[in-house]
Amino acid sequence: MDSTCLVVDEMHPSLLPLLAGIGVAADYRPELTAAEVPGALVAKPYDGLVVRSKLRVTAELLARGPQLRYVARAGAGVDNIDEAALAAAGVTLLNAPEGNRDAVGEFAIGLLLNLLRHIGRADGEVRQGIWKREANRGEEIGGKTIGLLGYGHMGRSFARRLGAFGCTVLAYDHDPAVAPDAHAALVPLAEMQARADVLSLHIPYSAANHHFVNQEFLAGFQRPLWLLNTARGEVLDHAALVEGLQAGRLYGAALDVLENERLATLSGPQAARYEFLKSADNVLLTPHVGGWTHQSYQRINEVLVGKLGAFLAAAHGGGKE
Q: Find the range with the poorest average confidence among 35-39, 70-74, 150-154, 311-315.
A: 311-315
Q: Which residues pair with 186 in a beta bridge?
A: 171
Q: Read off the pLDDT of each residue in 22-27 and give the average, rounded to a whole number.
A: 95
DSSP structure string for 134-154: GGG----STT-EEEEE--SHH
List the beta strands (DSSP E) in 29-142: 48-51, 70-73, 92-95
Q: Which of 232, 238, 273, 299 is flagged as catalytic?
A: 232
Distance CA 120, CA 108 (A): 15
Instruction: Note the pLDDT of residue 83.
Output: 94
> What's the pTM value of the predicted model, to 2 decimals?
0.92
Catalytic site residue from 56, 261, 275, 316: 261
Residue 232 falls in the annotated catalytic set: yes
Q: pLDDT tens, 61-108?
A: 999 999 999 999 999 989 899 999 999 999 999 999 999 999 999 999
Q: Which residues of 7-38 are buried (b: 16+ CB within 10 A; e: fewer)?
A: bbbebbeebbebbeebebebebeeebeeeebb
The pair phi, psi for residue 208, each rounded to 5°, is -70, -30
CATH T-level topology, domain 100-285: Rossmann fold (3.40.50)
CB-CB contact of 70 with 91 (8 Å): yes
Q: pLDDT digits over 240-293, tens only?
A: 999 999 999 999 999 999 999 999 999 999 999 999 999 999 999 999 999 999
| Among the four given CATH numbers 3.40.50.720, 3.30.1330.10, 3.40.50.2020, 2.40.240.10, the one describing domain 3-95+294-318 | 3.40.50.720
**Is the torsion defined by CA of 259, 261, 266, 271 positive or negative?**
positive
- Among this protein's residues, is 261 annotated catalytic? yes
Q: Does the pLDDT of residue 319 top 50, yes or no? A: no
Rounded CA gap, 157 and 293, in Å? 15
Neighbours of 96 (CB within 10 A): 24
Which residue type occupies 2? D
Instruction: Return d(Cα 191, Cα 222) in angstroms, integer.
Output: 10
CB 131 within 8 A of CB 152: no
Q: Which of 254, 236, 231, 212 is nearest to 154 (CA)?
A: 231
* CB-CB contact of 197 with 173 (8 Å): no
Domain boundaries, the chain: 3-95+294-318, 100-285
Mean pLDDT (whole number) for 313-321:
67
121 included as an active-site residue? no
Q: For the chain, give the percent of residues with pLDDT over 70.
A: 98
